[in-house]
Each structure stands twice: as C-alpha cells, then as structure tokens.
Structure 1
Amino acid sequence: MRLSALSRLVRLSLARERKGAFFSAFGVAVGVGALVFFVGLGLGVGRVIRERIFPTDARLVDVVPPAVSLGSLLGGGKLDNETVERLAALPGVEKVYRKMNVRVPAVSRYEGAFFGSRLRMGMEVLAVGVDPGLVEKDVQLGAFKDSGPDQPIPAVISTRLLEIYNKTFAPARKLPQLSPQMIVGFGFPVEFNRSYVAQAAPGPTTAAQAQVVGASDRGLLAGITIPLDTAIRLNKASGVDGETFTGVTLVAQDPSQVSRLVAAVKEMGLEIDDQERRLAENAGAAVTLTTSALALLSILICVLAAVNIAHALSASVRARAKEIGVMQAVGASRSDVRNIVLAEAGVVGLLGGATGTALALLLAFAINRLAARYLPDFPFKPDSFFSFPWPVVLGGVALGLVAALAGAYFPSRRAAATDPARTLAG
C-alpha cells in the first residue's frame, strides 16, 4: 500500500474515532509529560549539587595523614617533604600542591567602612596555606606569595562562602551583597595565636593585615586560603609545627588514573580526604532515588496508556470487521491491514508524546519564572531547577510512540487475521 493511501485511511479512521483517539493520546501525554518533567528536575538539581554546592574536579586527589596508625607512632605516615616527593613520583601524577593549616587560632576584629555600610564585628578565622599553583588562576590582584611579616597577607576567599554570605548573612544584617570582583583588594586585620573561645599556643601573638586577592572554588570553605610560605612562617613564629603538611593535592594526568593513585596512596599508609566527594555522591544518590521513583510512576502511567490504546483499538477492530473484510476482498494484504492499525496508533502516540513533552517544558518554564519571582534568595539558588538535554526531549516523544505501538501490537495482529469470506458472509 502506498504511503499516500495509508495516510488517507489513517486520517479518516482517526476522524471517525476522534473521541477514543483523544483519550488515548491524553493518557500517553500524561505519562510522557510526567516522565520528562521529573527526569528534567532530577538532572537540574543534580547539576546544581555537582557544579555549585560540591564542585569537584575529577582529576584531584586530596591526601591527608592518617588520624592514628602504627606508622605514625613509629615516625612514618607523616606528610613531610620526603613523602611529598614520593607522592610526586607516583605514576600518573601531573602536579602536586602542598597544604598546611595555620595551627594556631586566629581572630579578626573589624570596625569601619564596608562597601558603603558601617561594620563592626569580631570573629574566629581559619586559615590554610597552599602552594600558589592551586589557586593562581583565580588570583586577580598581585602575586600569591609571602612578601614578609610587614606586608599584607594575600588571601583567597571561597566562592561558596561568598554565596552563603550574599544569601544569608548579608540580608539578615542589611549589608551589601558582594561579587568576586568587588572584594578584590579589601583588607582586614587578623591576629594569629589569639582566640575568643579556644586556648592559644604558648608562643607570641602575630598581628597582620590580610588582603583579598580573589575568590576560588578551591578555597577553604570556612576561612581564608593564604600562601603556603606564609602559613609556615606563622606556625614557626607561634612555636608550633611548621614542617609537616596538613594535606597534599595530587592532580592526575587523566581521571581514569585516579583509582590507581588512590590505591598507591593508601599503600603508603596515608588516607584520602573525600568528604566533599562523598557528600556530593550521597546528595546525588538521594536525588537519583527520588527521581527514579517518580519516573517509575510515570512509566506505569505510560503502560496504562498502552493498555487503554490496546482496548480502544480492539474495540475499533471488532466494530470495523466488515470494513476490514471488504478491504481484504478488494486486494488489501494482511500486512496492509496490520500497518493501518499500527499507523493509527503511531499517530496517537506521536501526538501524545509530543504534547506531553511540550507541556513538561512549559511547566518547567513556568516554575522557574515563579521561583525567580516569589522564592527568596537562598544559597546556591539556581537560575533553573531543570535540565532538558536533547536526548530527554526526543526520548519523551519516542516513548509515546513506543507505548502506542506496543498497545496496538495485538489488535493489529487480530485485524490482520480477519477472514474476509466469513466476515462478509456473517
């Protein structure tokens, strides 16, 4: 049968059974629309978790000394210069960045102008020193290095800390919101080996001025990131350990080599600090589980829509038995009859799948607009809660077609098996 004749017969049949076709397409649209909507929501939330809340680089491996181990009791398991050299020599390591916490407490007492407002505040400060290469791409002012005790300390702020400040701290205290560019050059006093709540080390207190030189995803979340040489100098000045490192960040040549690096690091008696990675994985798993449950419900709706199509087409085939018999009597083959029924279902499925997908996209657009207008700003609030890559959109339309054809399979076989002589005689 030619395509033009097939399309004409399908159009006439659907026009005659428009009510049944409408309800069949509606069922497909509900199932497909729900599936596309929830999958898009899950992908969007997952993207926010991976890219904004817990941004991770697949090539980074954070090495830390073991909390307690026999090796450390016997003098091993320490992150000293010798251990760093061994780590750098591991196969697959491209770069090595050392880290050292400032091992004494620190406070900042600030009083004065703060970007057009007046601020008076005292707070505890955490500081970690890192090799400049770890954050140098985010440094916007000067060089990220120790310039001596009489010069300001270059400090990098975490972009996530800035996000939390803008969305929670600033609105509550009527302070201005800040961008990474605005804070570059801002200075504030810091006193090392001094604390409001903890006991200080026996050494002297070191007063310094910190100057913000940039904001980075790799910065310390709850403190400031300073040059490694500065952290070493401050620790030695306070009489605490300035030789061993708090951590080492390894950059693998390729993400596929990370697992081998992790195994090699553990063989050296060291540990991997993957707390943020585990948090990201746990949050992602929760989102995936919820999305999967809702997607399963949507697929069940599609299955019910397929059953409804099967029921509607079975009734249609019974009602059109004589018509089918006449078609066969004038030369239509069994495959022609089967193709007519499948084509009717295919049109219903395509219309239902396309409509459901379009409605899901429109609903997501409306929710994003309402969220932007009525939801208050909160940390890491995304511009869009949804993500619809093209495989999801095309997959929704294809699912509607598959569901309809699956429902039409048995009715089409029944229609093709019609005996024209018996049907016309009866």
Structure 2
Amino acid sequence: MRWDALSRLVRLSLARERRGAFFSAFGVAMGVGTLVFFIGLGLGVGQVIREKIFPTDARLVDVVPSSVSLGSLLGGGQLDAAAVERLRALPGVEAAYRKMNVRVPAVTRYDGVFFGTRLRMGMEVLALGVEPELVKGDVQLGEFKDPSEGQPIPAVVSTRLLELYNKTFAPARKLPQLSAGMIVGFGFPVEFNRSYVSSSASGPSRSMQTQVVGASDRAMFAGITIPLETAIRINREAGVDAENYSGLTLVATDPSKVPALVDAVKAMGLEIDDQERRMAENTGAAVALTTSALALLSILICVLAAVNIAHALSASVRARAREIGVMQAVGASRSDIRAIVLAEASVVGLAGGAIGTAVALAASFGVDRFASGYLPNFPFKPDSFFSFPWPVVLGGVVLGLLAALAGAYFPSRRAAATDPARTLAG
C-alpha cells in the first residue's frame, strides 16, 4: 500500500473515532509525562548532589593514617616521608599531594568593616596545609606558597562553606552575601596556639595575618586551607609533630586503577577517607530508589494505556469488520490491513508521547518557577531541580509509540485474519 493511501485511510479512521483516539492518547500522555517528569527530577537532584553537595573526583583516593591497627603497632600505618614515597611509587598513581593539619588550636578575632557592615566576632579556626598543586587552579591572587616574614598567609576557603554562609549564617545575622570573587583579597588575623575552649600546646602563640586568595571544592570544608610548608612551620614552632602527614591525596591515572590502589593502601596499614564519597553514594542511591519507584508507577500507567488502546482498537476492528472485508475483496492484503491498524496506533502513541513529554517539561518549568519565588533560599538550592538530556526527551516520545504499538499488536493480527467472504456474507 502506498504511503499517501495509508495516511489518508488513517486520517479518515481517526476522524471517525475521535473520542476513542483522544482517550487513548490521553492515557499514553499521562504515563509518558509522569515518567519523564520523575526521571528528570531524579537526574536533576542527583546532579546537585554530585556537583554541589558532595563533589567528588573518580580518580582521587584520600589516604589517612590508621587510627588503630596492627600495622601501626608494628611501626606501620604512619604517613611519614618514607610512606609517601612508597605510595607515590604505586602502579597507577599519576600524582600525590601531601596534607598536614595545623596541630595547634587557632582563633580569629575580627573587629572592623566587613564588606560594608560593621562586624565584631571571635571564633575558633581549623587550618589544613596542602601542597599548592592541589588547589592551584582555584587560586586567583598571588602565589599559594609559604610567605616571607611580614607577608600574609595565603588561604583558600571551601566553596561549600561559602554556600552555607550565604544561605544560613549571613541572612540570620544580616550580613552581606558574598561570591567567590568578592572574598579574594579579604584579610583577617589568626592567632595560632591559642583557643577559647581547649588547652594550647607548650610552645608560644603567634598572631599572623591571613589573606583569602580563592575558593575551591578541594579546600577544607570547615576551616581554611593554607600552604603545606606554612602548616609544617607553624607545627614546628609550636613544638608539635611536624614530620607525619595528616593525609595524602592520590590521583590515579584512570578511575579503573582506583580499586587496586585502595587495596595497596590498605595493605600498607593505612586507611581510605571515603566518608564524603560514601555519603554521596548513599544519598544518590536513595534518590535513585525513589525515582525508580515513581518511574515504575509511570510505566504501569503506560501499560494500562496500552491495554486501553488494545481494547479500543479491538472494538474498532469488530465495528469495521465489513469495511475491512470490502478492502480485502478489492485487493488489500493482510499486511495492508495490519499496517492500517498499526499506523492508527502509531499516530495515537506519537501524539500521546509528544504531548506527555511537553507537559512534563512545562510542569518542571513551573516547579522551578515556584521554587524560585516561594521556597526559602536554602544551601545548595539549584537554579533547576530537573535535568532533561535529549535521550530522556526522545525516549518519552518513543515510549509512547512503543506502548501504542504493543496495544495494537493483537488487534492488528485479528483485523488481518478477517475472512472477507464470511464477513460480506453476514
């Protein structure tokens, strides 16, 4: 059967069965729209978790000393210079970045103008020293290195800490909200080996000026990140451990090398600090489970839509039995009859899939507008809670088509099996 003849017959049939076609397309649109909406929501929330709340790099392995292990009792499990060299020599390691906590307490007391607002505040400060190469891509001012005498200590702050400040701390205390670019160059004093709540080390306390030079996802979350040599110098001056490192970040040549590196690290009596990675995986799994449950409900709606299409087409085939018999009598083959029924279902399925996908996109836009206008500005609030890559959009339309064809399969076979002689004879 020629394409123009087939399309004309389909248009005439759908025009005659407008009511049934409408309800069939509506059922498909409901199932497809619900499925696309919840998949987009799950992908969007998962993206926020991976990129903003728990940003992780699949190639990074964070090594920390073992707290209590047989290896540490026998002299292993420490991150000294020798252990660092052994870790750097492991197969699959591209780079290794040392870290050392400032092992004395520190406080800051700020009294002055804070971005146009008068601020007087004192608080405890945690500091972590890292090798400059670990955060060099996020340093926007000067060089990230141990400063000379009289120069401020360069410090990098966490982008997540800045987000929490903007969304919780600043509104509660009527302080200005800040961007990563605004804080570059901001200076504040830090007094090391001094604390408001705990005892200090035996060495002297020392007050130093600190200057923010950037914000990074790799910076210490609840504190400031300073050059490694500066942390070593502060620990040495305070008379505390300045030889053993607090951590080591290994960069694998490929994510596939990470499991072997983890096993090698544990064999050396060391541990892996994967707390954030596990939290990201657990949160992502919870989102995926919820999305899967809602997607299953949507698929069930699509199945019901396919059943409805099968019922409607079966009734249509019975009502058009004489018409089908006439077409067969004048030369229409069984494949032609089957093609007519499947083409009718295809139009209904494509229309339902396209409408359902469009409604899902419109609904997601409405939810984002509502969230932007009425939900509080909470931490890590995204511009959009949804993500619709093109396979999801195209998949919604294709799913509508497949649901309709599945529903039309048996009615099309029944129509093709019509005996024209018996039908026309009544």
TM-score (norm 1): 0.99
1:269, CA displacement in angstroms? 1.3
Is the aligned partner of 1:377 residue 2:377?
yes
Q: How does 1:397-412 map to 2 (within 5 A)?
A: 397-412=397-412
Structure 2 residue identity aligned to 1:197 = V
Partner deviation per Cα, 1:178-204 (whole Å, 9 max, x = no partner): 111111111111111111112222222
Task: Find the aligned partners of 1:397 and 1:247 in 2 and give their Cα distance.
Answer: 50
SS at match of 2:46: helix
Which aligned pairs between 1:269-348 and structure 2 lie closer than 5 A?
A: 269-348=269-348
Distance in 2, Cα, partners of 1:66 & 1:416:
74
Matched AA of 2:14: L
CA distance in 1: counterparts of 2:149 and 2:155, whole angstroms: 14
User: 2:233 and 2:73 mapped to 1: Cα distance?
Assistant: 26
Please tell me whether residue 144 in structure 1 is matched to residue 144 in structure 2: yes
Cross-structure match for 2:16: 16
Structure-2 separation of matches of 1:222 and 1:54: 14
1:135 corresponding residue in structure 2: 135
Which sits farther off after the overlay, 253-262 or 62-71? 253-262
Q: Gaps (5+ residues) in structure 2?
A: none
1:368 shift after superposition:
1.1
Structure 1 residue 151 displacement after superposition: 2.5
Shift of 1:263: 1.4
Indicate the residue corresponding to 2:32 in structure 1: 32
Matching residue of 2:61: 61
Please list the CA deviations of residues 300-322 of structure 1 after superposition, one character each: whole Å capped at 9, or x if unmatched: 00000000000000100111111
Aligned match of 1:362:
362
Structure 2 Cα separation of the partners of residues 267 and 150 of structure 1: 44
Q: d(CA) in 2 for partners of 1:198 and 1:392?
A: 55
Q: Letter of the aligned partner of 1:371 in structure 2?
A: A
CA distance in 1, matches of 2:262, 2:244: 21
Instruction: Give the aligned partner of residue 84 of structure 2.
Output: 84
8 Å CA contact 1:158, 1:217 repeated in 2: yes
Listed one character per residue, the Cα deviations across residues 154-208 of structure 1 (whole Å, up to 9, x for unaligned) are 1100011011101111111111111111111111111111111122222221211
- Structure-1 residue corresponding to 2:188: 188
Identity of aligned residues (%): 80
Deviation at 1:148, TM superposition (A): 4.0
Output the CA distance in 1 between the equivalents of 2:74 and 2:208: 37
Using the alignment, how far apart are the partners of 1:164 and 1:21 within structure 2?
52
* TM-fit CA distance, 1:149: 5.0
Contact kept? 1:132, 1:145, Cα under 8 Å? yes
**Equivalent residue for 1:171?**
171
The residue that corresponds to 2:100 in the other structure is 100
> Equivalents in 1 of 2:163, 2:284: separation in Å?
21
* 1:367 positional shift: 1.3
Moved more, 221-230 or 194-203: 194-203
Measured after TM superposition, the shift of residue 340 of structure 1 is: 0.6
- Unmatched 5+ stretches in structure 1: none
Partners of 2:70 and 2:269 within 8 A in 1: no
Q: Deviations over 1:239-290 (max 9, x none)?
A: 1111000000011111221111111111111111111110110110010000
Q: Secondary structure at the match of 2:181?
A: helix
SS of equivalent to 1:95: strand
Instruction: Determine the structure 1 residue equivalent to 2:5.
Output: 5
Pairing of 1:258-273 with structure 2 (within 5 A): 258-273=258-273
Is 2:210 the partner of 1:210? yes
Distance in structure 2 (CA, Å) of the matches to 1:148 and 1:228: 14
Contact 1:149 1:208 in 2 (8 A): no
Which amino acid is 2:214 matched to?
A: G
| Counterpart residue identity of residue 310, structure 1 | A
* Alignment partner, residue 115 of structure 2: 115
Distance 2:265 2:368 in 1: 45
Read off the aligned partner of 2:390 and give its amino acid letter.
W
Q: Give the Cα separation in 1 of the matches to 2:45 and 2:147.
A: 43
Aligned equivalents of 1:389, 1:74: Cα separation in 2: 53
Alpha-carbon distance between aligned partners in 2 of 1:74 and 1:336, rounded to the nearest angstrom: 82
1:47 corresponds in structure 2 to 47
Equivalent-residue separation in structure 2 for 1:7 and 1:111 (angstroms):
79
Q: Distance in 2 between matches of 1:294 and 1:71?
A: 48
CA distance in 1, matches of 2:149, 2:381: 40
TM-score by length of 2: 0.99
Number of aligned residue pairs: give it: 426
Distance 1:148 1:237 in 2: 15
Give the Cα separation in 1 of the matches to 2:137 and 2:302.
50
Distance (whole Å) between structure 1 residues aligned to residue 142 and residue 319 of structure 2 = 84
Q: How far apart in 1 are the matches of 2:288 and 2:70?
A: 40
Residues of 2 paired with 1:422 and 1:252: CA distance? 75
| Cα separation, 1, equivalents of 2:5 and 2:143 | 76
1:226 CA drift (Å): 0.4
C-alpha distance in structure 2 between counterparts of 1:137 and 1:322, whole Å: 76
